[in-house]
Amino acid sequence: MANTQEKIAKLFPQVTVSQGNAGIELTLADQSRWHDLASALRHELGFDFLVTIAGMDWKEEGLGCVYYMVASDRHECLSVKVTATGDREKPYIQSVFDLWDIATIFEREVYDYFGIIFVNNPDMRRLFLNIDWKGYPLRKDYDADPATNPISIESERQTDFTESWVEKDGKIVKEIKRIFQPDDFVINIGPQHPATHGVLRFRTALDGEIIKKIDVYLGYIHRGVEKICEEDTYPQTLHFMDRLDYFSGQIYHHGLCMLYEEAAGIQVNKRIEVIRVLMDELSRIASHCLFIGTYCMDLGATTMLFYALRVREQILDIFEKTCGARMTFNYACIGGVMQDLHPDFVHDVHALLDVLPGNIKEYNTLFTGNVIARDRMEGVGVLTREDAISWAVSGPNGRASGWACDVRKNFPYAVYDEVDFDEIILHEGDAMARFKARILEMEQSARIIAQLIDNIPEGDYLVKVPKMLKIPAGHWFKMVEGCRGTFGIYLESDGGTIPYRLKLAPPCLPAAAVVDHITEGEKIADLITIGGSMDYIVPDIDR
Amino acid sequence: MEVTTKGMPYEAWKDNEYIEKLVQELRDNGTNVVVGSLDKLINWGRSNSIWPLTFATSCCGIEFVSLGAARYDMARFGWEVARASPRQADFMMVAGTIVHRMVPVFRRLYDQLAEPKYVIACGSCAISGGPFKKSYCVAMGIEDIVPVDVFVPGCPPRPEAMIYGIMQLSRKIKVEKFFGGVNRKKSQEEFLASHPIQETTHE
Ligand code: SF4
């Protein structure tokens, strides 16, 4: 780590280096050197995984971004704070779309929220909001009056053009570009389509039955969670975690609670950590079960849904007894968990562990080895390791491409460094590998649960926390391993009882964004196979 | 006059006053509340095979999936034929948040449903915006966009609640001849007339 620090100080003397909770933090006041710095970080220092770009509005200090990145080979995290040039009318920052593929989408998101222009980014459209949306909602001075952007039942304006900003003679000028070529044959899939897993829309350009390009059109379930969080107190923000990726609710809760606890200096005991990890792993099994069910249904094997949901229902029963809900649990809270484990918990979990291996075997007999399934999935939608990292496709999808990206191993939290489990790494990178990775992960989750379930330590399930939680001024970053990959949370506090900015970096946005890249040259009939195998949850993408 | 559906004793309903009041009101207004045997037969068939449109935008949709699976098994009631095309569906179970960008799509799907059509607002998001009440981009309830027949509260509603909600709908369909028929159609037309889609052309 000291090594990285020295190298940066030598290459870029004007950069301020400091130490944050997640790793080294760099501050760059002048964005005109940003591309050079980013290029050095990417190529010379090996920071190849861009976790998120958090847009920021610091009021008088201007607008800007905080970039979080990880060096995938040595598990080092680094952040760079870049301030935009220009007034609030037209702030701009150099784009890094050529260094990390995923930056194209991340920068579009920042543009949508804050109106920061990324110079040279080839596609500077809004990402989630309507083309004609007025204002930038995450700015602190946004006018939230519903009359500014009234709800309309008229169809939204569509366009085949996009904008790009380039530097010409010292000025930033706009260029209009085409998304599709004039003679492209474009068909529209979604937002109301049974196999897009929610309200996602693909504008697909075809050449015969070969896919030429997909424009992933998002925002059909953009609920503005990050903005609402800026109006709620810390405990009130928690429940939104259940409603992003509703299968990883427990895990996201766990992550946000850990972040708040770290920031507020609250220590939780071992019992709480074990309970949280047990819940995380149970929900991982439940989530992968639902994936198996719905994915097989997409491929035409409807019966699998019934087999897979059987186990899920059993897990939901366990959750229901303890948490009191089947889906939106709201279980982990700041300083512990809402209520103690139900007396039947240990017994029920044992019953689950007893039936799980038989069920997994059944899935494999019924589906994984099936000739039709293999023909449809093997070699389809191949994602290489380099592309997976560059597109930030983490979780089981990334591991199916040979990238060891498990946060539980790389940045262990709670009790993950005390339990034995294998990180599932496959190398094919196709739809089949992504499917298998999830089945194998269920076994590993069961292993973790088996180690913990009989040794739940004694103690309180909730430690003492102040009634009105205040977090000192500063910023924090935390990553957890959701069911679908790395979930990052960035918090900036101004010392009050509500977050100044809470940025959520979901794993599903990269998973959906990469669909364009991996379907290129594939047949249209395989689109559903590929999209389904990425297992994205649309409310997690759109937030 | 007791209105109920198959396998559900009349006393088990929680809101019988409401349906009785409706029937009474219609009687007072001189609507003929007599059902012929042919009507009965048709309504019996219709109310036991209402097909939903698969329309799930978020969390509530997952509970709807559970409803279709073996444990809650909505096939018992004849609702299991979830259609992907609005042209083939009888009702729309609006399960999930409806946001700004989705509104026109949602309205178009509703317009594409074949008559007679029904809407169930399922979950607090569809009813009022729910947890996202403060959001800058969520529709605060779908009632302003389409006429709603049944509301199912919850976040998400349990599958049992959804079953109860759809049973309410099938009971309404059963007596549609009395107080639906003319009246329902009229209120729907009034609603649509007051919420028109303007013809606009985009360049
Ligand atoms: S009502 Fe609750 S569970 Fe249903 S879509 Fe809204 S937030 Fe999700």
Domain chopping of chain A, boundaries? 2-179, 225-542
A332 alpha-carbon distance from chain centroid: 20
The residue type of B62 is I
Q: Does A538 touch chain B (CB under 8 A)?
A: yes
pTM equals 0.85
Question: Which CATH number is A2-179 given?
Answer: 3.30.460.80
How far apart are the CA of A325 and the centre of ligand 1, in A?
A: 13
Peptide bond into A191 cis (omega under 30): yes
Two structure tokens written together for A487:
């979930």
CA distance A319 to A445: 16
The structural domains of chain B, ordered by start, are 14-189 (3.40.50.12280)
Cα of B96 vs centre of ligand 1, distance in Å, is 5
| Angle A132-A135-A136 from CA coordinates, rounded to 5° | 110
Contact B99 A220 (CB under 8 A): yes
CA nearest to A510, candidates A88, A11, A4, A105: A105
**DSSP character string of A54-95:** EEEE-GGG-EEEEEEEEETTTTEEEEEEEEPBS-SSS-EEE-
Taking CB atoms and an 8 Å cutoff, what residues of chain A touch B145?
151, 153
The token duo for A6 is 């020295």
Put the strands of the sheet holding A16-19 in their side by side order: A16-19, A24-28, A76-83, A63-71, A49-57
The token pair that represents A110 in the structure block: 């920042």
Half-sphere exposure of A152 (CA within 13 A, CB side): 14
CATH assignment of A225-542, among 3.40.50.300, 3.40.630.10, 1.10.3720.10, 1.10.645.10: 1.10.645.10
Nearest residue in B to A198, CA atom: B57
- DSSP letter assigned to residue A150: -
CA B19 to CA B174: how far, in whole Å?
12
pLDDT string in tens for chain A (543-residue length): 567 777 777 777 777 777 777 778 888 777 778 888 888 888 888 888 888 998 888 887 888 889 988 888 888 888 888 888 877 788 888 888 888 888 888 989 899 888 888 888 888 888 888 888 888 888 888 877 777 788 777 777 888 888 888 887 777 788 888 888 888 888 888 787 766 677 888 888 888 888 888 888 888 888 888 888 888 888 888 888 888 888 888 899 899 999 988 888 888 888 888 888 999 999 999 999 888 888 888 887 788 888 888 888 889 989 888 888 888 888 888 888 888 888 888 888 999 889 988 888 888 888 887 888 888 888 888 888 888 888 989 889 989 888 888 888 888 888 888 888 888 888 888 888 888 899 999 889 998 998 888 888 888 888 888 888 888 888 889 889 888 889 999 988 888 888 888 899 999 899 888 888 888 888 888 888 888 888 888 888 888
What residues flank ligand 1, with Cβ below 6 Å? A 243, 328; B 58-60, 96-97, 123-125, 130-131, 155-156
- Residue A363 CB partners (closer than 8 Å, separation 6+): A292, A304, A307, A308, A439
Question: By the 8 A CB rule, do A532 and A295 touch?
Answer: yes
* Chain B contact set for A306 (CB, 8 A): 69-70
Ligand 1, atom 6, residue with closest C-alpha: B125
Q: Report the C-alpha gap between B153 and B130 in whole angstroms.
A: 10
Q: From the candidates B136, B142, B144, which should be mutated to test the interface with A, based on the most A CB atoms within 10 A?
A: B136
